[in-house]
Homo-oligomer: A and B are copies of this chain.
Amino acid sequence: MSLIKGIESANAEYSDKFTKGDLSLPPAKKAVIIHCMDARIDPSTSLGFQEGDVHVIRNAGGRASDALRSVIISQRLLGTREIIILHHTDCGMLTFTDDKLRNILKEETGQSVDHISFLPFGDLKQSVLDDVKFLQDNPLVLDVPITGYIYDVKTGKIHKVDR
């Protein structure tokens, strides 16, 4: 069954009680968080954010290279000056390789997608370190604090990733 009916009904209830119509466009806490699209994680509740606080970029794996366009816009046009990277345990990105997914797509669609990297990883901690370094080294990204965390989907707890 389509989501549409549930979304529209939940939103009618939400907007009936809505009181946050005067928030401004630039994030109040001047920060951007990059994390995975995984359904089990809700950054607002698990990290304590309110509407208006931070930019939230989400993609498969929470990969920084795939977030670069958005990070540039967030920093240069909307004034954010801090980055949080959040990957998580039991991530789908740990379960496949580029070759495996390329083969699935070739079989199912007939398309050759050797030019696409799906950015999977084999080591969760290293994936966070790699993504912090990717942003630190990128000349288009401002020199701001960047902190990496791993979220444990079994406990709801975040753990800071240090070298």
Of residues 46 through 98 on chain A, the ones whose CB sits less than 8 Å from some CB of chain B are 46-49, 51-60, 66-67, 69-70, 72-74, 76-78, 82, 84, 90, 92-93, 95-96
B residues in contact with A160, CB < 8 Å: 8
Number of copies: 2
The reply to whether A73 and B18 form a contact with Cβ atoms under 8 Å apart is no
The reply to whether B40 and A82 form a contact with Cβ atoms under 8 Å apart is no
Bound together, the chains give a CA A12 to CA B15 distance in angstroms of 30
Bound together, the chains give a CA A82 to CA B3 distance in angstroms of 8
Interface size, chain A (Cβ < 8 Å): 86
The reply to whether B74 and A15 form a contact with Cβ atoms under 8 Å apart is no
Kindly supply a per-residue 1/0 record for chain A positions 1-14, scoring 1 wherever the CB is within 8 Å of any chain B CB and 0 otherwise: 01110111111111
The reply to whether B73 and A92 form a contact with Cβ atoms under 8 Å apart is yes
* Contact of A124 with B by CB under 8 A: no
Bound together, the chains give a CA A61 to CA B130 distance in angstroms of 26
Nearest-neighbour CB distance to chain B for A139, whole angstroms, equals 5
The reply to whether B116 and A92 form a contact with Cβ atoms under 8 Å apart is no
* Contact of A133 with B by CB under 8 A: no
> Would you mind naming 8 contact pairs between A and B with Cβ atoms under 8 Å apart?
A2-B147, A7-B84, A37-B74, A57-B58, A59-B70, A69-B119, A77-B92, A109-B139
> Residues of A at under 8 Å CB distance from B?
2-4, 6-15, 18, 20-21, 23, 25-29, 31-32, 37-42, 44-49, 51-60, 66-67, 69-70, 72-74, 76-78, 82, 84, 90, 92-93, 95-96, 101, 104-105, 108-111, 113, 116, 118-119, 139-140, 145, 147, 149, 153-158, 160
